[in-house]
Amino acid sequence: MTLPSLFVAHGSPMLALEDNGYTRFLENLGRELPVPEAIAVFSAHWDEPDQLLSVDETNGTMHDFYGFPDAMYELRYPAPGSPSLVGRMKALFEAGNLPYQTVSGRGLDHGVWVILQKMYPEANIPVVELSVDSKRSPSEQYAIGAMLKELRRENVLIIGSGGLVHNLRMLAQTDTPDPWAVEFDEWVAEKLESWKIGDLFDYDKKAPHARQAVPSYGVEHFIPLFYAMGAADDDRQAKRLFQDYQLGNLSLNCWMFGS
């Protein structure tokens, strides 16, 4: 069985407690997809120059945010790790001449567990978290994802967790989407659906409102898209499964890559 790869927006950590159209979509998505043997997540909240992989026997839960309700800090997502998946990733990274390091004791950050506790609430599927590197070029990020494409045929679900429009300084108390955010998302959508990776790699120069949508201090939220796309490099298909907005321009979207 070959699973798709996914780009999933993780929005605000409050998604963990919310019941809305997006959280219900994520719950349904977990039920509709074939049950994976393991899940690998490239998270925007682990931005490091080296490629890192989590190797805990049981994953801890990071509460890497502040100022939220007490209930947020009581949530746990104790999914097991996967030594066998880590071993496969090591071999694939070595074949691609990509240096890597393993990390234990960190736990899953909210870019991982907030979406997974909606998709797979029983926390019984092994999870390995991977770092991203916002200093790399989009083509390099895509290439790292492509190193893992074989895993999709081994019933591993590969997810890039971030946000296509994620500029916390421009959020507003409104339910009406900002036109500039919608225009940026639609530009990305057209390029994804036609797999125009050259344009996407140059999004910062070609996309409308790129500076607002992907500010220099928030690039790490956009780039998980390239890791997820790369994982479907042998099956270049893209389908948008969900699109909505919170707080004017916080884009909540999910893209599926591959058939």
Q: What is the pLDDT of residues 204-224, one digit of tens each?
A: 999 999 999 999 999 999 999
pTM: 0.98
Q: What is the pLDDT of residues 30-85, one digit of tens each?
A: 999 999 999 999 999 999 999 999 999 999 999 999 999 999 999 999 999 999 99
Q: Which class would CATH give 5-257? A: alpha beta
Q: What is the pLDDT of residues 29-38, one digit of tens each?
A: 999 999 999 9
Residue 175 — very low, low, confident or very high, per pLDDT cuts 50/70/90? confident
DSSP calls for 81-136: --HHHHHHHHHHHHHTT--EEEE-S--B-HHHHHHHHHH-TT--S-EEEEEE-TTS
Domain boundaries, the chain: 5-257
Contact 145, 40 (CB under 8 A): no
Enumerate residues 6+ apart whose C-beta is below 8 A from 218. Answer: 166, 167, 168
